[in-house]
Homo-oligomer: A and B are copies of this chain.
Amino acid sequence: MATIHDVARAAGVSISTVSYALSGKRAIGAATRDRIDAAVAQLGYRPNAGARMLAGSRTNLLALSAPLHADTYAPAHMTFVLAIAEAAREFDYDTVLLVQDEAVNGLRRMVSSKLVDGIVLLDVDRDDSRVPLVRELDIPVTLVGIPADTTGLTCVDLDFEAAARLSVERLAAQGHRQIGLIGHPEELYARGSNFPIRFRDAFAAAAAEFGVGTHFVMPEQEPVSVRVALEELRRELPGLSAIVLNCNEPVHTMALELLRQDGASIPQDMSVLSACSSFPTDQLDPPLDVIPLPALITGRRGVELTMNQLGGYSEPVVELVPPAYIAKGSTASVT
């Protein structure tokens, strides 16, 4: 492996000149720079990561704390992980993955060994055990998800409250008076999982505000359970004409299949809207109107906010990504 020393010799300059030429932190003559660039290319020189970490103030490594609960929906989770790892690369950062126990315990290790410059926390619960920890860690941290107490923290997430309100608003404007909400499995709510609860509560509030009746069910990812849930909606909401799905893809598929079997066509007999979904709904049959969970945007923003903190000082902020509504023709006005 070539070292900076080799490059310096090949270019006929000193080590510090090479360093400055590569970092751009001081002006370097054009001719000199060219010779250095040529030497770098010819030797295939790459700065030694360890040396850089030790001498410089940056490690160019980002910790990604990604605990995975038994009930975590893997595809969504994965999308966030991908978004963050890719966004990090745009800042010339690599990502150290901390899973399971290490998602909590590893953080302190990352910081005290100075392995990483910053941390992104994924899948933050309302009352997350990582929150008190990162509060005392003196390092840039961004939480993807909003904990109960955000004091002093930088957070980013989809504005689930606005998304819930938008769902109700659109359907109410179409004349729907009874709107069913299909949520995630019950454990998630019991565990204090973040966004399902925020969505559910804001949905209820919006329903009250717009004066529409609503009922909430939490089926398991399992056909029988979904059928029971649908039946419960019909029983509780006699004039049911619209359903909002705030659940995983398999439950979407099952619900659509069950509606088909019941002879309910979409959107004539039933308007269906997918809210906060991390997967493409236009592959479903029929394609569904959707308020996407923009994992790519949110994840990337989580990295950006961390990088901002690395630069100058930025005040802690809670940043809510506004929801978008994408129509696919699966909702219609009540006739």
Return the chain B residue nearest A256 by Cβ.
B223
A1 & B112 in contact (Cβ 8 Å cutoff): yes
Interface centre among A50, A77, A115 (most CB of B within 10 A): A50
Secondary structure at chain A's binding surface: helix, strand, loop or mixed? helix
Q: Which of B68, B86, B221, B253 contacts A223 (CB 8 A)?
A: B253
- Write the chain B residue with the least CB distance to A83: B99
**Interchain CB contact under 8 A, B112 and A44:** yes
Task: Produce 1/0 per residue, A132-159, CB < 8 A to B.
Answer: 0000000000000000000000000000
What residues of chain B lie closer than 8 Å to A34, measured between beta carbons?
none
Pick the contact of A50: B52, B75, B89 (CB < 8 A): B52
Check A49 against B114 for contact (C-beta < 8 Å). Answer: yes
By a CB distance below 8 angstroms, the chain B residues around A221 are 253
Shortest Cβ distance from A260 into B: residue: B223
Contact between B97 and A85, CB atoms less than 8 A apart: yes
Asked whether any CB of chain B lies closer than 8 Å to the CB of A11, the reply is no
Contact of A86 among B50, B95, B100, B253 (CB under 8 A): B100
The B-contacting residues of A in range 30-54, CB under 8 angstroms, are 44, 46-54
Given A49-B59, A49-B115, A82-B68, A224 contacting B285 (CB threshold 8 A): yes
Tell me the count of chain A residues lying within 8 A, CB to CB, of chain B: 49
Cα A94 to Cα B223 in complex, Å, equals 40
A64 in the interface, Cβ–Cβ < 8 Å? yes
Q: How far is the CA of A274 from the CA of B25 in the complex (A)?
A: 60
A50 CA / B1 CA spacing, docked (Å): 18
Taking the complex as formed, is A329 at the interface, i.e. its CB lies under 8 A from any CB of chain B? no
The verdict on A78 contacting chain B, using a C-beta distance below 8 Å, is yes
Q: How far is the CB of A105 from chain B (nearest CB, A)?
A: 10
Nearest-neighbor residue (CB-CB) of A100 within chain B: B86
Q: Which residues of B contact A283 (CB under 8 A)?
A: 222
